Amino acid sequence: MDAVPLREYLMDIQAFLNLCTGKWFSQKTNYYAGAEQSQSSKADLEINLILPEEQKIKNICQNNRLNSDSSLGGLVYSWDTSVDWGKPKEIGSALMVFVPSAENSNFGKVITDNDAYQLGSYILGQDQSLTITVETKDQNTKLEERLWFASDNLRLRTTAISDRSSDTINTNFYSEIRKAVPKNND
């Protein structure tokens, strides 16, 4: 089956999550408002889909008092900044689980396995962009991330992190080019 060009259909959240999977090259520009300072970096990303029936998804839903049966599953993000010469190497991973609202699957709760940020919300807009908002447990810091696709193999992202305790804002812009589609999506 030939791939359908991205702009020929409106995506639902499951199609959006499926499109996120693969190996990506990410370029990031970071701007610190107030300090009027910016910097750039690069990373290799790998994003894999975890099915709702997997135990890790069930556990994270149960720990947050959400029904894992209604979960869409999750995305595991793994990153490696070793492609960014001259900067400290960072390797890590994070899990993000999506639990849709009963009324409409294009918005709902998002749960992360990050110790600081755990529970938030997502909405897939009519413009086919996904907005994810999460706060720290103490509600001092809010992260809002917006993701969209310029094409099937070019993903764009912005993040805004606002810290209420210090009145600072940190913004990031990412352009991500798909290097490989996961084998299970072939």
User: Cα separation of 121 and 131, whole Å?
Assistant: 8
Tokens of 89: 């190497």
pLDDT in tens, 110-149: 999 877 667 899 999 999 999 999 988 778 889 999 999 9
What Å distances lie between residue 174 and 1, 26, 108, 154, CA to CA?
A: 31, 6, 24, 10
Collapsing DSSP to helix, strand or coil, 53 comes out as coil
Please say whether the beta carbons of 24 and 45 come within 8 A.
yes
Please say whether the beta carbons of 114 and 141 come within 8 A.
no
How far does CA 4 lie from the centroid of its chain?
23
Q: What is the pLDDT of residue 186?
A: 44
- Asked if pLDDT for residue 2 goes beyond 70, the answer is no
Q: What is the pLDDT of residue 137?
A: 79
β-strand partners of 39: 30
User: Cα separation of 72 and 51, whole Å?
Assistant: 7
Q: What percent of the chain has pLDDT over 70?
A: 90
Q: What contacts 105, CB < 8 A, 6 or more positions away?
A: 12, 13, 14, 72
Least confident range from 54-58, 113-117, 126-130, 155-159: namely 113-117
Please say whether the beta carbons of 128 and 11 come within 8 A.
yes
How far does CA 24 lie from the centroid of its chain?
13
DSSP designation for 63: H
User: Cα separation of 46 and 108, whole Å?
Assistant: 24
Q: Domains in the chain, ordered, with CATH?
A: 9-185 (2.40.128.20)
Q: How would residue 35 be classed by pLDDT, with cut points 50, 70 and 90?
A: low
Mean of pLDDT values over 16-26:
96
Q: What is the pLDDT of residue 20?
A: 96
